[in-house]
Amino acid sequence: MSSADTVPVGGADVGRRVTIRDIADATGVAPSTVSRALSLPDRVNHVTQQRIQQAARELGYVANSQARALTSGRTRAVAVLVSDITNPFYFDVIRGTQHQLSAAGWTQLLVDTEESADAELAALSAIATKADGAVLTASRLSDAQIARFAERTPLVVVNRRPAGVPSVLIDTPGGVEQAVQHLVSLGHRDVLYVAGPDSSWSNERRWRALVRVAKRLGVRVARVGPHAPFVDSGAAAADAAVNAGATACIAFNDLIAIGMLSRLRERGVRVPEDMSVVGCDDIFGADFCNPPLTTMTSPIERAGRVAIRMLLGRLGAAPSSSGDDLPDGQTAGAVALPTHLTVRESTGPAPSSPHRPS
Cβ closer to a copy of itself: 37 or 80? 80
Check: CB of residue 64 under 8 Å from CB of residue 75: no
Cβ closer to DNA: 51 or 189? 51
Out of a copy of itself, DNA, none, which partner does residue 352 contact, by CB within 5 to 8 A per kind? none
Residue numbers 275-334 binding a copy of itself by CB under 8 A: 284-285, 288-291
- Confirm or reject binding of residue 72 to DNA (CB under 7 A): yes
Out of DNA, a copy of itself, none, which partner does residue 33 contact, by CB within 5 to 8 A per kind? DNA
Alpha-carbon span 224 to 337, nearest angstrom: 28
Q: How far is the CB of 195 from a copy of itself (least distance, A)?
A: 22
- Confirm or reject binding of residue 75 to a copy of itself (CB under 8 A): yes
* Stretch touching a copy of itself by CB under 8 A, among 43-51, 65-73, 170-178, 241-249: 65-73
Distance of CA 133 to the CA centre of its chain: 14
Out of a copy of itself, DNA, none, which partner does residue 261 contact, by CB within 5 to 8 A per kind? a copy of itself
Alpha-carbon span 79 to 119, nearest angstrom: 14
Q: How far is the CB of 324 from DNA (least distance, A)?
A: 33
Q: How far is the CB of 78 from a copy of itself (least distance, A)?
A: 11
List b or e across 234-255, with b for residues whose CB sees 16 or more CB atoms inside 10 angstroms.
bbbbbbbbbebebbbbbbbbbb
Give the contacts of 40 (CB within 8 A, at least 6 positions apart): none
Out of a copy of itself, DNA, none, which partner does residue 285 contact, by CB within 5 to 8 A per kind? a copy of itself
Out of DNA, a copy of itself, none, which partner does residue 99 contact, by CB within 5 to 8 A per kind? a copy of itself
* Stretch touching DNA by CB under 7 A, among 19-27, 158-166, 218-226, 317-325: 19-27
- CA distance readout (Å), 356 to 153, 195, 274: 54, 21, 9
Gyration radius from the chain CA atoms: 27
Is the C-alpha dihedral spanning 350, 351, 352, 358 positive or negative?
Answer: negative
| 198, burial (CB in 10 Å: exposed 0-12, middle 13-18, buried 19+) | exposed
How many of the chain's residues bind a copy of itself (CB under 8 A)? 43
Pick the closest to residue 179 from 229, 236, 221 (CA basis). Answer: 221
Give the contacts of 27 (CB within 8 A, at least 6 positions apart): 34, 48, 51, 52, 55
* Stretch touching DNA by CB under 7 A, among 39-47, 150-158, 185-193, 258-266: 39-47
Out of DNA, a copy of itself, none, which partner does residue 31 contact, by CB within 5 to 8 A per kind? DNA
Q: How far is the CB of 141 from DNA (least distance, A)?
A: 24
DSSP annotation string for 162-207: -TTS-EEEE-HHHHHHHHHHHHHHTT--EEEEE---TT-HHHHHHH
- Confirm or reject binding of residue 126 to DNA (CB under 7 A): no
For 249, the enclosing helix (H) or strand (E) is strand 248-251
- Confirm or reject binding of residue 33 to DNA (CB under 7 A): yes
Residues paired with residue 277 on neighbouring β-strands, in sequence order? 249
Out of a copy of itself, DNA, none, which partner does residue 39 contact, by CB within 5 to 8 A per kind? DNA
- Confirm or reject binding of residue 54 to a copy of itself (CB under 8 A): no
Alpha-carbon span 355 to 249, nearest angstrom: 13
Check: CB of residue 260 under 8 Å from CB of residue 251: yes
Q: How far is the CB of 70 from a copy of itself (least distance, A)?
A: 5
Site residues for DNA per CB under 7 A: 16-17, 19-21, 28-33, 35-36, 38-39, 43-49, 61, 63-64, 67-68, 70-72
